[in-house]
């Protein structure tokens, strides 16, 4: 009997060494130490031995059981340690690997253009201010020399906002241009000199097409002071065109009509794509119209408390999307606000 126990301990120990994971260890435990395991069977069989043998056999069997239990515990610890080691190895982080690049956002092409335009004027001493997109009829039209029922109103397709509250008798609208800020800035200036650019959104009741959007940006400019002349207008806008479209640019002014300037002009630059020889970008004309401008109308000055005999000024307004379209060869203004990444990611 004691020999059998010794044999069993040897074979059990060998088997235990081969058990390499938790499942194998559990199978081993069931086979040797479980309720009908081999060690348990030996312990049970002791009852059938003659009393003189039982004592020694019992001691040997119990010792075998204790030592196998201890061996199991040790083996379990070793296997667990090894599997932790493996898990750590698999989950190892190499801190020397380069990081994964984040998809960084970027500024919208309109925002980039607006900033570039404003920077060009800021470099010439213009302050940048902003104003409300929902505007009173007074600022958008009336104070700009565009009275009610005047045909000049047809120049702007207007989105009216139903007026509410204490000033309900005064019509409100989504501003059709940034020019109302000319009035607000003069109003707030205390009659002193003014030099501002005003970027912002404008809205028109418009059927959209490749060159028209119902929401778009403008950058307005206004300079008012003693002794400002048309030469200042031309020089300032010429310098702007060179800064945005290149040192070689030439500019052309032609008469245009806006009720709040006199005289009014449109400014064109010679085509930067073909240097004025005629191409698709300039529709074969060699010139590209980029903004409207003029000397601030005396009536507009007078309304805001400036004496037009002393103060003069110039104003201009341009569409930054148009400028961006020209610069990048974009052929449809609707692309700017369609939120298509394939378009936006190119800028």
Residue linked to tokens 């200042």: 232
**By the rule CB under 6 A, 200 interacts with ligand PHE:** no
Nearest in space to 329 (alpha carbons), one of 347, 341, 316:
347
Round to whole Å and give the CA distance between 98 and 28: 46
- Binding footprint of ligand PHE, residue count (CB under 6 A): 11
* Stretch of 49-57, 76-84, 163-171, 291-299 lying at the interface with ligand PHE (CB under 6 A): 291-299
**Which of the residues 183, 218, 224, 287 is marked catalytic?**
218
d(CA 212, CA 284) in angstroms, rounded, equals 21
> CB of residue 221 vs ligand PHE: minimum separation in angstroms?
7
> Which of the residues 312 through 341 are near ligand PHE (CB under 6 A)?
315-317
Tell me if residue 297 is catalytic: no
**Residue 259 interacts with ligand PHE (CB under 6 A)?**
no
* Burial per residue of 150-170, b for 16 or more beta-carbon CB atoms within 10 angstroms, e otherwise: eeebeebebbeeeeeeeeeee
Pairing of strands 127-128, 194-203: parallel
Q: H-type helices in the chain, by residue range?
A: 2-18, 22-32, 38-45, 51-90, 109-122, 137-140, 180-188, 230-245, 298-303, 320-328, 341-344
Which residue's CB comes closest to ligand PHE? 317
Least separation, in Å, of the C-beta of 294 and ligand PHE? 5
Give bridge partners of residue 197 from the DSSP assignment: 128, 221
Q: How far is the CB of 224 from ligand PHE (least distance, A)?
A: 13
Decide whether 292 or 320 has the Cβ nearer to ligand PHE: 292
Reply yes or no on whether 296 is catalytic: no
* Catalytic choice (39, 120, 143, 156): 156
CB of 261 to ligand PHE, least distance (A): 5
String of contacts with ligand PHE for each residue 136-175, x by CB under 6 A: ----------------------------------------
Residue 177 touches ligand PHE, criterion: CB under 6 A: yes
User: d(Cα 30, Cα 142) in Å, to the nearest integer?
Assistant: 97
Query: Omega into 263 within 30° of 0, i.e. cis?
Result: yes
Question: Does the annotation mark 261 as catalytic?
Answer: yes
**Annotated catalytic sites, by residue?**
156, 177, 204, 218, 261, 315
Residues that bind ligand PHE in the complex, under the rule CB under 6 A? 177, 179, 220, 258, 261, 292-294, 315-317
């Amino acid at each position: 009997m004691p020999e059998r126990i010794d044999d069993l301990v040897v074979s059990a120990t060998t088997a235990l060494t081969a058990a390499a994971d938790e499942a194998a260890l559990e199978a081993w435990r069931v086979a040797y130490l479980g309720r009908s395991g081999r060690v348990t069977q030996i312990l049970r069989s002791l009852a059938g031995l003659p009393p003189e043998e039982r004592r020694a056999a019992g001691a040997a069997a119990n010792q075998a059981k204790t030592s196998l239990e201890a061996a199991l515990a040790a083996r379990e610890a070793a296997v667990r340690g090894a599997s932790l080691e493996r898990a750590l190895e698999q989950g190892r982080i190499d801190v020397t690997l380069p990081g994964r690049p984040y998809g960084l956002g970027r500024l919208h092409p309109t925002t980039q253009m607006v900033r570039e335009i404003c920077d060009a004027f800021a470099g010439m001493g213009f302050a940048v201010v902003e104003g409300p997109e929902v505007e009173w009829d007074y600022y958008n039209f009336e104070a700009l020399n565009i009275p009610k029922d005047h045909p000049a109103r047809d120049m702007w397709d207007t989105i009216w906002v139903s007026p509410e509250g204490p000033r309900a008798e005064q019509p409100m609208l989504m501003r059709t241009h940034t020019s109302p800020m000319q009035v607000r800035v003069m109003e707030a200036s205390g009659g002193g000199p003014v030099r501002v650019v005003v970027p912002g959104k404008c809205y028109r009741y418009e059927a959209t097409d490749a060159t028209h959007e119902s929401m778009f940006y403008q950058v307005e400019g206004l300079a008012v002071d003693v002794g400002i002349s048309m030469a200042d207008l031309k020089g300032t806008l010429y310098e702007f065109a060179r800064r945005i479209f290149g040192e070689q640019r030439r500019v052309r002014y032609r008469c245009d009509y806006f009720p709040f300037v006199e005289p009014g002009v449109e400014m064109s630059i010679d085509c930067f794509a073909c240097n004025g020889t005629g191409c698709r970008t300039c529709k074969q004309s060699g010139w590209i119209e980029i903004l409207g401008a003029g000397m601030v109308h005396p009536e507009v000055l007078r309304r805001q408390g400036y004496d037009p005999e002393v103060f003069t000024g110039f104003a201009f307004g341009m569409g930054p999307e148009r400028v961006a379209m020209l610069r990048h060869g974009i052929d449809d203004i609707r692309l700017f606000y369609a939120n298509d990444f394939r378009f936006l990611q190119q800028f």
